[in-house]
A and B are shown apart, each in its own frame.
Chain A
Amino acid sequence: MNWGSWQNFFAMGGYGLYVWGSYAVTLIALIAEIVALITRRRGVIERLAKYYAARRRNHETEA
């Protein structure tokens, strides 16, 4: 598929808005999911670390 020029490629025969709108939103959705996963994992580890620290403190004060 020979586009001829970068301008042709971006214009997509006049349908640039639709084609790039689709690909862009898809990319955003994928990246958003990845970011959400990373954030979720960090949040879980942080929360659990606090939970364990509190539990340890509880055990120490009880013992």
Chain B
Amino acid sequence: MKRTGRFSWFYFSSPQSFYPLAGALQPWFAGLAVILCAIGLYISFFVAPTDAQQGESYRIIFIHVPAAWMSMFLYLVMGFWSGVGLVLNTRLSSMVATALAPTGAMFTFVALWTGALWGKPTWGTWWVWDARLTSELILLFLYIGFMALQAAIDDQRRADKAGAVLALVGVINIPIIYFSVKWWSTLHQGASVSMTSAPTMAKTMLLGMLIMALGFWMYSIAATLARVRCVILERERQTEWVAAEIGGQA
């Protein structure tokens, strides 16, 4: 629906126009991801000093916290686009939501893994039932539930909408779940064992975390753009333009 002579953002809301845009943008985001992660890794290994209490093991924070941030952020974005697809009945929004889920689940897994590996030297056990890790575990279940529900429903539009309802219910529940788990963990552990408690975090540490988070964000965008292109091809296979596209590729 392009108004003659004037640019409209809604132009890109059709899979056909978004597909080439995604293809064009994706390498840029991938490049940004590589650069930002390289800078972040340099800071985390060669600039940030040794921590007084935790020694070198704290360096896991440069992966753990950005991954946890991304896992939560991607869920919110997924919920947002799901909701847009549900309310406005746009196919592309739902496709983007579906494309976001695996990357979000991957970061949730990374957050859990690095959390466990951080917990072992710091608190002696492979699993620490602190608020953040437990909430991350439940978030992983929410992601898996979303993907399982969409995979189980054969009718595409129903899968999109049902996934949207589930994602939105999840978005409302995440603060409740986090609050509940936080309360539960402080009660049972007494002394605060917060994995992110670093009140006197050196500026370099914070900078490293932020840059890694940005790098992960760029990576997520690049991965999602690539995945949504696959989803578009799969779903729009009955259209002429996909046939032409494949004919050009094969």
Question: Beyond A45-B246, A48-B233, is A22–B64 a contact (Cβ under 8 Å)?
Answer: yes
Given the known inter-chain contacts A48-B237, A51-B237, please indicate yes or no for A22 contacting B113, CB distance below 8 A. Answer: yes
**How long is the Cα–Cα vector from A12 to B247 in the complex, in angstroms?**
53
Q: Contact partner of B56 among A13, A30, A37, CB < 8 A?
A: A13
A44 touches B233 (CB 8 A): yes
Total of A-B residue pairs, C-beta within 8 Å:
88
- What total of chain B residues lie within 8 Å of the partner, measured CB to CB? 40
Contacts known (A1-B45, A14-B55); A45 close to B250, Cβ less than 8 A: yes
Spot the interface stretch: B12-20, B73-81, B159-167, B221-229.
Answer: B221-229
Q: Is the CB of B226 within 8 A of A23?
A: no
Across the interface, do B230 and A40 meet the contact criterion of CB distance under 8 Å?
Answer: yes
- Contact across chains for A15 and B113 when beta carbons are under 8 A apart: no
A49→B230 CA distance, assembly (Å) = 14
Structural contact, A22 and B223, CB atoms closer than 8 A: no
Task: Say if the beta carbon of A54 comes within 8 Å of chain B.
Answer: no
Bound complex: CA of A52 vs CA of B121, how far in Å? Answer: 56
Partner of A19, one of B47, B56, B223, B237: B56
Which chain A positions have C-beta within 8 A of B57? 12-13, 15, 18-19
Structural contact, B246 and A48, CB atoms closer than 8 A: yes
List the B side residues contacting A23 at CB < 8 Å. Answer: 63
Residue numbers in A under 8 Å from B250 (CB-CB): 45-46, 49
Q: Is the CB of B106 within 8 A of A33?
A: yes
A22 and B233 contact, CB distance less than 8 A? no
Indicate the size class of the contact surface on chain A.
Answer: 20 to 34
Supposing A45-B246, A52-B247 touch, asked if A12 and B106 sit within 8 A by C-beta, the answer is: no
Contact of A29 among B60, B106, B226, B233 (CB under 8 A): B106
Interchain CA distance A56-B103 in the complex, whole Å? 36
Residue of B nearest to A2 (CB): B46
CA distance A45 to B246 in the complex (A): 6
Residues of A within 8 A of B59 (CB): 12, 19
A21: which B residues are within 8 A, CB to CB? 117
In the assembled complex, A25 has its CB within 8 A of some CB on chain B = yes
Q: When A and B form their complex, which 4 residue pairs have the shortest distance between CB atoms, in order from nearest?
A: A49-B250, A13-B56, A15-B57, A12-B56
CB-defined A-B contacts under 8 Å, sample of 26: A1-B45, A1-B50, A13-B50, A13-B55, A14-B56, A18-B121, A19-B59, A21-B117, A22-B64, A22-B114, A23-B63, A26-B110, A26-B114, A29-B106, A29-B109, A34-B223, A37-B230, A40-B227, A44-B230, A45-B246, A45-B249, A46-B250, A49-B246, A49-B249, A52-B243, A52-B246
